[in-house]
Amino acid sequence: MTAQTIPHQYSTSERRVALAAVLIVLFLSALDQTIVATAMPRIVAELQGLDRIAWVGTAYLLSSTVTVPIYGKLGDIHGRRPVLVFGVLVFLGGSMLCGLAGEFGPLPLLGDGMNQLIVFRAVQGLGAGALATGAFATVADLAPPAERGKYSGWFGAMFGLAGLAGPVLGGFLTDHATTMVLGHQVSGWRFIFYVNLPLGGFALWILLTRLPHGSKSHDARVDWVGSALIVATFVPLLLALGWGGEGGGWGQTRIVLNVIGGLAAFALFLKVSIGKSWAVVPLDLFRDKVVARGNLALFLVNLGYMGVPMFLPLYLQIVRGMSASESGIAMLPLLGGVLVGSMVAGQVARRTQQYKPVIVWGGALALLAMAALTRTSAGQPQYLLTINLLVLGLGLGPAQGMFSLAIQSAVDHGRVGVATASAQFFRQIGATVGVAVFGALLTYNLSAELPRQVPQLTAAGASIGLSEAQTLAMDDRALAAALAARGDADPKVAAAAKAGLQASFAGSIEALFPVALGVMVLAFLVTLVVPGLLLRGRENPPLMEA
């Protein structure tokens, strides 16, 4: 049996302060995911790492994901505040290091600037895992399920606000924040990481001085073995995905060994977790259909969605010739839709005490929008892409909070932390796998497209690296210089090469959308079979099928 936890009874003033604190923390975490996307083309061009672009996102998501169950359990044991404070401190340290990546050239053990950025993003992710988990679990402390809809709406709004601010701020800083410091040029994209420091400092002050500790559990056992096995499962599998996309075939020894190792670790994880109520991911939670199906839906939704925000800015900047700022503005309809969709979903769930209709209608909208995105082409009018992104955001908005709300409603309060962590874990592992899968597909597609579309740069046995291809596609002078070095300075040849580079990136990125659509179809089918329960009020009546 699990130890029972008596919820902390928040006063009205405590509730307001706690909500403000966790909203700031959540904004900090969400902003760092969206602010990087529009800067990534410029970052990988400067650090020469297009072949590793997916790992910048994967490292962050993986490290934050594998620690989520641990943070959820520690929050149940020690209260939410110490976990959130620790998370902010680690997150800020990682942000500072990310801003310094590559500034001092190659470093021992870490290597070049791109490798440094990947490692430091992993450090950031270690802190971010505590932020999102602690924030969502604090909502469960603040109010019973029937009243959490409005809080979930606020949380969705924070995701939406970060989504609106991130791409624009990231693009603006990338384009305009480059400055000289003591005679050294600091690239504008570095400030997308430095901007976290003042925001994080303010959040840290609120957490230390205003946030109550909240509920604590009497069960103080932490499943460190299970936590290690989660890491041992997903790191090898994601490495295998990344290597497979680089070319050389999926039968490479290193890929096969990593897949076998990851699957073996997963089997061992299941063995050591069965029958253990205090496991890092308690398997008995998944006997509940809401928990099992809700988490599976979260995994699939985020897996299918990640190809859009991760690689569409690259498409807009290379294929449509937008600046970083312009591509950030072009992404606003998607993120504004998420903001509106999550707010509306929270209000509807609060008034009806039901979440099922909201997630079904949201899933249907997202599915239609993703189907429309498969028609994207270089010549498509911008307004059609804007409409598609807006509808996609409106459909995805309910998933930001409603699945977590459903899962929290299905468990006793003493297990809210681990249940919330399970939702956050499957949300983030879906995003992590999505970044890795779509990154591998992009790399594979480009490797096939470039020799066919740009013979001017690949003739006579010559090869062109993916990072070089991106640089040449974005910089006409660099393209002219590269052709001149190959003995061909004809402007017509340069124009043809530029068109070929754009066609390579266009075809490679457009090919990602049908894959995303297939995953979203599976996500919608799972959403349909998630049980609909009436949300509990303060009187805590038994759960009932809606």
Say if residue 419 is in the same domain as residue 298.
yes
Say if residue 414 is in the same domain as residue 463.
no
Contacts of 180 (CB under 8 A, 6+ apart): 186
> What pLDDT is attached to residue 246?
62
Say if residue 498 is in the same domain as residue 510.
no
For the chain, the residue count is 546
Structure tokens at 406: 């459903």
Lowest mean pLDDT among 160-164, 167-171, 436-440, 517-521: 160-164
- What is the tens place of the pLDDT at every residue in 211-254? 665 555 555 677 788 888 888 888 888 778 767 766 666 778 88
Name the domain count of the chain.
Answer: 3
Pairwise CA distance, residues 35 & 165, whole Å: 8
Q: pLDDT band at residue 100, thresholds of 50, 70 and 90?
A: very high
Pairwise CA distance, residues 502 & 120, whole Å: 31
Pairwise CA distance, residues 352 & 355, whole Å: 8
Whether pLDDT at 384 is above 70: yes
Say if residue 251 is in the same domain as residue 325.
no
Say if residue 210 is in the same domain as residue 248.
no
Establish if 5 belongs to a structural domain: no
Say if residue 193 is in the same domain as residue 50.
yes
Domain carrying residue 255: 224-275
> What pLDDT is attached to residue 224?
82
> What pLDDT is attached to residue 464?
67
Say if residue 361 is in the same domain as residue 440.
yes
Whether pLDDT at 170 is above 90: no
Say if residue 154 is in the same domain as residue 105.
yes
- What is the tens place of the pLDDT at every residue in 455-507? 877 664 455 666 678 778 887 888 888 778 777 767 888 888 888 888 999 99
> What pLDDT is attached to residue 215?
55
Say if residue 297 is in the same domain as residue 383.
yes
- What is the tens place of the pLDDT at every residue in 261-310? 999 999 999 999 888 877 777 888 888 899 999 999 999 998 998 888 87
Establish if 259 belongs to a structural domain: yes
Say if residue 116 is in the same domain as residue 168.
yes
Structure tokens at 158: 């924070």
Say if residue 427 is in the same domain as residue 480.
no
Establish if 1 belongs to a structural domain: no
DSSP letter at 320?
A: S
Backbone angles phi, psi at 107, to 5 degrees: -120, 150
Say if residue 363 is in the same domain as residue 436.
yes
Establish if 7 belongs to a structural domain: no
Long-range CB contacts for residues 471-477, cutoff 8 Å, separation at least 24: 471/45, 471/48, 472/497, 472/501, 473/318, 473/498, 473/501, 473/502, 473/505, 474/41, 474/45, 474/317, 474/318, 475/45
> What pLDDT is attached to residue 447?
82
Average pLDDT, the chain: 81
Residue 312's CATH number = 1.20.1250.20
**Under 8 Å between Cβ of 528 and 360:** yes
